[in-house]
Structure 1
Amino acid sequence: MYSKFLYNSSSFLIATLPQSTMVVLMILLLVALFMLFMNSGAEIAFFSIGHKDLKTLRAKKYPGSNRILTLLQKPQLLISSMLVGNMVFRLLIILLCSYLLRDEYFPLITGPLLFILRMIISIFILLLFGELLPKVWAANNPIRFAFYSSTFVHGNFWLFKRPGSWFASITERLERALGIDNDVNTRLEQIDEAMNSNSAVYTSEEEKNILKGIAQFGNITVRRAMRSRLDVQGIESSISFAELKTRVAEQQYSRFPVFNGSLDSIIGMIHSKDLLPYLDHSDDFDWKQLIRPPFFIHEQMLVEDLLKSFQANRIHFAVVVDEFGGTEGIITMEDILEEIVGEIRDEYDEEDSVNIRIDDFNFIFEGKLMINEACKIMKMPNKIFDAIRGDSETIAGLVLELSGKFPNVGQELIAQDFTFTILEAAQNRISKVKISIAPHLQ
């Protein structure tokens, strides 16, 4: 009965439509199909852009790249507006298809069967132009599709931004009511707030920092905790036993990577305590027999998993490599523990630190300082730099991303509410940076 009513209603509407109106509806259908095509593909393209792609987009000054970066600054609102737009365009396509598929086109089919046929054709069009074609194209070429669709996605964003924000806020309220929160940074900030408010009387500042370190421990990657290769003191395998003893005595470390030619060819690790029984041997002693096998790990491994590997293999030292097998740095058990308890100083560590808080709006940091550590010193949220950073983990890496080239000493880089001033740099390494923040952020 219901299908018969829809069929009779659509037949009546089609019969009464003038020819000019039919042309307008055809154009409207094509526009709706085109917008659905762009929106559906953009869902895949925009959210498939990785950190390296974002770095490339920041380096380019094209209007399309600026639109993409601007839209991605509000990802939740962007996806909400896309979903609302897709829903509107799908409904519009279904209605227009039912209006435009006239009875005379199907003389042998009448009644409810004609209504079902119209629905099948509409669904086929929606699947082809709203799912298969755009999403396959966007999955294979996300950057190119994002460039092509950025203008239309931007228009869709402003057209459906308001209803999208309503749906986003409703979703957020439902997640909070159900106890669901998928944002890691938000959870960590909530933990920080709870620790700061509930334990102010009974817990010292050091104990609070340890508790925060434990809370964040499961989300820390090796890349964040490791020592970069520029800070690695390695041993060339070709040196003599006398030179080896001199190097170990000078560096005051207990473990050293051993390499052939360069740090990208590490063949093992030598422990200083393994040398003790042989200190009185001659200078031509073959110390290479004391080299322990290397333990290689990837930079994106979680330190929580690395700690388990250390415990299982009874080792305290690992070599961090990138996706191409090059050496990124090293990480030790001490580096892992420092992520929980903070910096561990021994008698050989330098006491002076260049990380200085000048006032509430100006700070001086080492270039190698991790961004999350800088945020702690500035007493700001960990994600405060998310809008301008890519895959950088240190202050120096962030500056290089913003500059696009190696900056000069004294050069200022302005990014949103932050001003970065290069204070010291030598041998292609940024060693000291001043960060000034806008007053309204504090």
Structure 2
Amino acid sequence: MAEMPFSFYLINGLVVLVLLGLSGLVSGSEVAFFSFSHNQIKEFTASADLKEQRISRLLHHPKRLLATILILNNLINIFIVTISTFATWQIVGPQGKQGLTIVILTSAITILIIFFGEIIPKVYANHNGTAFAKLTSSLLLISYKFFKPISWFLMSVTGLIERRMEKKGYNLSVEEINQALEISVEKEEVSEEEKGILKGIVNFGTLSVKQVMKSRIDITAIDRETHFHELMNQVNKTGYSRIPIFTETVDKVDGILYIKDLLPHIGEEEDFAWQELLRPAFFVPESKKIDDLFKDFQEKQVHIAVVIDEYGGTSGLITMEDVIEEIVGEINDEFDDDSDVAYNKLDNQTFIFEGKTSLNDFCKITDSDITLFDTVKGESESLGGLVLEMNTKLPSAGEKIRFLHFVFTVVAVDQRRIKRLRVYINSDKSNVAGFED
């Protein structure tokens, strides 16, 4: 083999250095271009700067831009390795120790590409995104057009694979995730409180406002025509920090009275126009998911919402505290009366519940699967409503309703609703006939 002149190796070395620099520019451009916010891109679109307009054009098709960057970067790195290997082969020759030389060369090139073609340019681009994007915009625009057929082909193949995977994909249900969670926590030292929080997070996106809200019958609201001193008496009795105000009927909520807005006016006369202190009410439908409501609360910076039914009537009330409690459990403040609990636990299998207790709360307290009642609950969201659905009529005190491994005994009832229930849960779920009375 004829020995190559020194200029051959010099040119190869310079070409490798230039390609290494290009590799760094292309790698850094990926970080620079995809770090811009939506507002920044809008500014680039409206800008008179040619380079900023170029950036905006490239980001108009982000997937194609990313494909172009990856194609260009891989081609450059392939050329670096190919040229370096060829030059080394010329130096060593066919009789040399090619195996060891190739290993050393590959290690050296890999280190150079990682540091000078990846890490350093990406760190720099992360701190100087706009300048770096402007620097590489011309190169990428040319490559964007040149590699259009290849990038289109790759994007088409990728899209086809994604669609096939989606068809064959396996979506885990909430029940399956909960079962996996049960298995996981059994193997770890996890407290009941931590377990409850984890379950709350898993179920958070599946709960609707109707399942969590305080029902209409339990709402504390004040008539708009109430005189100021009577208003103050009612406010003192309730202990709430926010109270809905209505005209004629609770279906016509005019706004929300924040008690902190009343504080500067405590000494006012009877005819004080307290109605001017009302803040606009935030209305939400029963079907809204509580994770979406949580985002709305944050965006609007409110902590209470009036729940309306399909006819526009007031269905209930829900607060930020109600939503958060679905994750962290019951939150007691200074106005919560610990003695007025919605349930009493008589033993591990027997409970006394208020009829208005939500099905969701009942299942959390008794560690039951809420899906057990899907076939019988109808539109009901409370424990009393569930029993009414199963019995088809208002039961009398002492009447028992059996379902699966549950026995519901009516403790107290009035003319319109079930007020209190005794619930017995058979621990032997396979022996539903062996209930105690």
| Range into which the TM-score falls when normalised by the shorter chain | 0.5 to 0.7
1:278 corresponding residue in structure 2: 265
Match of residue 259, structure 1, among 242, 246, 254: 246
Q: Which has the larger radius of gyration?
A: 2
Contact 1:364 1:434 in 2 (8 A): yes
Q: After superposition, where does 1:11-410 map in structure 2 within 5 Å?
A: 180-194=170-184, 196-199=185-188, 201=189, 203-352=190-339, 353-410=341-398
2:76 corresponding residue in structure 1: none
SS of 2:183's partner is helix
Deviation at 1:193, TM superposition (A): 3.4
Contact 2:350 2:425 in 1 (8 A): yes
Structure 2 distance, partners of 1:218, 1:345, is 24
Deviation at 1:361, TM superposition (A): 3.9
C-alpha change, 1:390 and 1:348, in structure 2 (3 Å) is same
C-alpha change, 1:342 and 1:351, in structure 2 (3 Å) is same
Deviation at 1:306, TM superposition (A): 0.6
Structure 1 distance, partners of 2:331, 2:262, is 25
Structure 1 distance, partners of 2:345, 2:171, is 33
Contact 2:174 2:203 in 1 (8 A): no
Contact 2:200 2:326 in 1 (8 A): yes
Look up the equivalent residue of 1:396 and give its one-letter code.
Answer: G
Contact 1:221 1:299 in 2 (8 A): yes
Structure 2: state its 5+ residue gaps: 1-164, 431-437
Structure 1 distance, partners of 2:272, 2:293, is 35
Q: Deviations over 1:281-340 (max 9, x none)?
A: 111011111111111100110111111111111111100011011111111111111111
Look up the equivalent residue of 2:392 and give its one-letter code.
Answer: G
Deviation at 1:360, TM superposition (A): 4.5
SS of 1:393's partner is coil
SS of 1:274's partner is helix
2:12 corresponding residue in structure 1: none
Identity across the alignment (%): 40
Structure 2 distance, partners of 1:331, 1:224, is 10
SS of 1:384's partner is helix
Deviation at 1:182, TM superposition (A): 4.8
Look up the equivalent residue of 2:358 and give its one-letter code.
Answer: M
Q: Deviations over 1:136-169 (max 9, x none)?
A: xxxxxxxxxxxxxxxxxxxxxxxxxxxxxxxxxx
1:138 corresponding residue in structure 2: none
1:105 corresponding residue in structure 2: none
Structure 2 distance, partners of 1:189, 1:428, is 39
Contact 1:185 1:382 in 2 (8 A): no
Look up the equivalent residue of 2:293 and give its one-letter code.
Answer: L
Look up the equivalent residue of 1:188 and give its one-letter code.
Answer: N
Structure 2 distance, partners of 1:212, 1:431, is 29
Where does structure 1 differ by over 6 angstroms across 4 or more consecutive aligned residues? none
RMSD: 2.1
Structure 1: state its 5+ residue gaps: 1-174
Q: Deviations over 1:61-109 (max 9, x none)?
A: xxxxxxxxxxxxxxxxxxxxxxxxxxxxxxxxxxxxxxxxxxxxxxxxx
Deviation at 1:179, TM superposition (A): 6.6
How many residue pairs match? The answer is 263
Q: Deviations over 1:232-284 (max 9, x none)?
A: 11010001111111111111000000001111111111000000111121110
Structure 1 distance, partners of 2:222, 2:403, is 41
- Larger relative contact order, structure 1 or 2 (CA cutoff 8 Å, min sep 6): 1
Structure 1 distance, partners of 2:425, 2:202, is 28
Structure 1 distance, partners of 2:193, 2:240, is 27
Structure 2 distance, partners of 1:276, 1:438, is 52
SS of 2:386's partner is helix
1:418 corresponding residue in structure 2: 406
